[in-house]
Structure 1
Amino acid sequence: MLSSMNKNVQCTAWTGIASTLLSNGRTSASLFKLKIGNDSKTSNHSKGSNETKKLKEVDVIIWDECSMISKTALETADFVLRDLPDSPFSFGGKRIVLGGDFRQILPVIRRGTKTDLTNNCIKNSYLWNQFQKFSLLDNMRIINADANWIKFLLDVGDGVANDYEDRVTLLESLPVLEDLVDDVFGGSNKGKDTFVPRITCYEDKNLPFHLKRTQFPVKLAFAISINKAQGQSFGRVGLYLPEDVFVHGQTYVAFSRARSKNELFIKSTSERLFNVVYKEII
């Protein structure tokens, strides 16, 4: 819609995976030339570079997964966008649209305490009060899910589902599996002798040498951390939890990657999972 109004829009997200899911997406570090791991509000942007000229022409910046943005990164972006046109206005007068869910994972600080993590959240930035806040009435990722599953996810994210030990008891319909790989990815032919066709690739007889390649139609499956899964949805989710989660939002993010409870499978030593929620953030 903004593009149809001749607005120059740039999409960005904090992580590389999340940015690839956006149209014309770039990581925040790449867009603003942020110095990752540096607490000072500095950037590698050069006023005469082509990158800087393109950034000056942007009208609207859509910044997704904002719960993962650090306070320092947001304030550095403000500094960069003010500095490019030498503007007194926040973000150089550009429109900044943040999107995200603060039930999800916060900025990562190596060996950071709860105080470190909450203080580094963008809600504690001097810029936060300049944003107008809107809330979605429906969870678009699981909009067709049953009401009990939606309520369970929200209760996990808000910490309402926690008992006195900050643990969540899984729904009876969520299986705790012995063999995660077989149960999640075994498919409809699990336990059966199945024909896997062998594919012989095209052989070019005009070549001066003999070339033939044989393939089998087997799909690869990958394992990623909960943090890297943020921003994505999957057809089936196998959640392996040999140990407790250790930071705000990880349990909620892990559960909500599945579009319905029928797509989530868990391998854990207990049916009571630890759930870290910093209620002062949500």
Structure 2
Amino acid sequence: MSVRNQQGKLFFFNGPAGTGKTFVYKVLCSHLRADQMIVLCVASSGIAALLLPGGRTSHSIFKIPLSSNDTSFCTFHKQDMRADLLRETSLIIWDEVPMQNHFDPETVDRTLRDIRNLDRPFGGITVVFGGDFRQILPVIPKGSRSQIVAACLKHSPLWQENLEYADWLLKIGDGQNSPDGKIHFPESMNCTPNTVQGLIDALYPNIQIPGIPGDQYFLEWTILAPKNEDVHAINAEVLNCLPGERRTYRSADRAELEGEEENNIYTQEFLHGLNASDLPLHNLELKEGAPIMLLRNLSPAEGLCNGTRLVITHCARHFIKARVLGGDHAGYETLIPRIDLSPSQDEFPFKFFRHQLPVQLSFAMTINKAQGQSVKHVGIDLRTPVFTHGQLYVALSRSTAVARVKVLFPSNEPVSENIVYSEVL
């Protein structure tokens, strides 16, 4: 999933000797290469590399300096054929990494961020580290026990940030660090200032500059809130910042009572004011270049399902044209017309129909909608507290690093409620 959706996640495959790590590497490699993807297999030593399909040592593939440090880069140029290969790489499998000084993968990380022009771990390439910390650790000439331990991957920012954050998240999910139902957040998560505009500035930097947003921009940045009212308000604020001409699509609404149209009973003004979690707004304001989310299954075979995120490429009078963001159908363009929609649940004492584009803006989305989606940067609006089990855990776990999470609190104190139904755990 991380490879196909270009999520660029880091994994560590931990297993004692003889448990089949090499077999898993070969399966991963063969499966992705069969789909014409580039997979690089490296190891810390030549003997270990020979066991991998097309394996080479990490120093050979990446040209890591023999004496790497916390500022070193790999010794090849951005114009080299090697750099071209790494720009097209989808997966790196790095075996026996516990034997190497953590400066080595950090050197590769810095280099890939540079040559791929992407400030993400390893330039957005998914990396599978593997090994067993029970085996030999990095060799430090005349090094003490503490120096050897300090050279391990576990003492690298690449490891520490994700591990500590994951441990904190698990405690939130289990309700272990909130005996009073309250969570105290790291100061780094605070928005500065602690306002809606502060959250927007943190999550959508430079969005007001024409031509800046792109598909990856909207895939990697999002704002979450517990309730739809807050989501709609934030979406409207961010839309104001996005350059371009605004277009308003107004719905045609009707009510049916006992199988017959009863528009004389319910006025149009009343119907236009009705909202449901799975219905678009009556006044749907959109701009070209804005991200949207589908609210209905239009064509699952083409990736157009409830929850699919797209970016608008053209606003016509009765339809919009949009391009799919991410997934197997990334880049696919489609026309989205107005259709008849009704709430999936009986929220009203009559049958309600809304003829409207089946979309909503997705600068922000509800926490429930975000479940199953991963992003690089996430902002969370907690002015309205979470109201059910797991919501806070889901919101915080959309990103894998504490430094990439910003939270808007109801006051300047970084504290919020956490709801956990311990009986289901």
> Could you say which TM-score interval applies, normalised by the shorter chain?
0.3 to 0.5
Larger radius of gyration: 2
State the TM-score, normalizing by the size of structure 1.
Answer: 0.45
State the TM-score, normalizing by the size of structure 2.
Answer: 0.30
Tell me which protein shows more strand as a share of its residues: 2
